[in-house]
Amino acid sequence: MRNIVAVSSLVLLFLLCTSGKLEYRKAYKVRTVVIDAGHGGKDVGCNGKVSHEADIALQLALQVGNLIEKNLPDVKVVYTRKTDHFVELIDRAGIANKNNADLFISIHLNSGPAAAYGTETYTMGLQKSEGNLLVAKRENSVILQEDNYKENYNGFDPNSPQSHILFALHQSAYIDNSLRFAGKVEREFKQKVGRNSRGVKQAPFLVLWKSFMPSVLIECGFLTNPNEEKFLNDKSGQSYMASGIYRAFREYKDELEAMN
């Protein structure tokens, strides 16, 4: 009798472990993605000769989301904005956290000297590069247009390098998968879309700071470069870019889920 009890307990324990394991495996699906169109409303972002960053970012974000919704119906797509309106940086990460997103993708356009061109995908982090810091400072400076930025960002000063360094220490738990996805985005841009990839970079972006999931910020090209501005305003140019981001997402999802 004692043996039967012992064996039954072992069998029960085995079943509990196995079912627990199965549930654990299920948790590794990429279920929800948040697509964040940078800027909007009173914040137009950077400017080209004929276009604003906020408008092109929205077009690209809607197209990426649409491709995911159409082709990967098991993924829930959440947008931080679907129209031209202002969303505070902290609320963008908040939307991602509230939806338990598995990935946060923030879409932007770059600004620089007329000769600068190409794509860059950023993860949160520290890299000793003045250029990266300049991009982060420009993207972060939008908080000056927000009402309570001093309270919301714990005294963050977009003009202070020290502030940027402090904030770069967050997001470190998600850095591996952020880099994994960022690498795929830049590879797609370079190999499939034929763009000049300026690579995967790291810098302290406020919009990525408080999200609790792998997060990237994509600079899809320079509006200050006439050729790129033309390409990024072109319907087919936009669809090439959106398809590149979509394929990177699909590959990222397949890769993570294959590790189960």
Determine phi and psi for 200, rounding to 5 degrees: -90, 130
Cβ neighbours of residue 244 closer than 8 Å, sequence gap 6 or more: 185, 188, 189, 192, 193
**Strand stretches in the chain, DSSP E:** 32-37, 76-79, 103-110, 119-123, 197-202, 215-222
Interacting positions 123-142 with Zn ion (CB under 5 A): 139
Question: Can you give the C-alpha Rg of the chain in angstroms?
Answer: 21
Q: Which is nearer to Zn ion, 25 or 82 (CB)?
A: 82
108, 164, 247, 253: which one binds Zn ion (CB under 5 A): 108
Of residues 30 and 45, the one with the C-beta less far from Zn ion: 45
Which amino acid, residue 81? R
| Sole window of 13-21, 79-87, 101-109, 145-153 interacting with Zn ion (rule: CB under 5 A) | 101-109
Q: What are phi and psi for residue 34, nearest 5 degrees?
A: -105, 125
Q: How far is the CB of 28 from Zn ion (least distance, A)?
A: 32
Q: How far is the CB of 255 from Zn ion (least distance, A)?
A: 28
Cβ closest to Zn ion, residue 102 vs residue 186: 186
Of 53 and 186, which CB lies nearer to Zn ion in the complex structure?
Answer: 53
Local structure of 101: helix, strand or coil: coil
C-beta closer to Zn ion: residue 186 or 219: 219
Q: How many residues bind Zn ion (CB under 5 A)?
A: 4
Residues 6+ apart with CB under 8 A from 48: 109, 223, 224, 229, 233
User: Closest distance between Zn ion and the C-beta of residue 140, in Å?
Assistant: 10
Nearer to Zn ion (CB atom), residue 38 or residue 158: 38
Sign of CA dihedral 241, 33, 62, 117: negative
**How far is Cα 120 from Cα 112, in angstroms, rounded to an integer?**
13
Q: Whose CB is nearest to Zn ion?
A: 108
3-state secondary structure of 131: helix
Nearest approach, Cβ of residue 52 and Zn ion (Å): 10
Q: Which is nearer to Zn ion, 92 or 108 (CB)?
A: 108
Site mask for Zn ion (CB under 5 A), range 160-179, x = bound? --------------------
Q: Looking only at residues 33 through 62 of this chain, which bind Zn ion when binding is defined by CB under 5 A?
A: 38, 45
Provide the minimum distance between the beta carbon of 111 and Zn ion in the complex, in angstroms, as a whole number: 8
| Least gap, CB of 228 to Zn ion (angstroms) | 15
* Angle subtended at Cα 169 by Cα 101 and Cα 127, rounded to the nearest 5 degrees: 105
Q: Which residues bind Zn ion (CB under 5 A)?
A: 38, 45, 108, 139
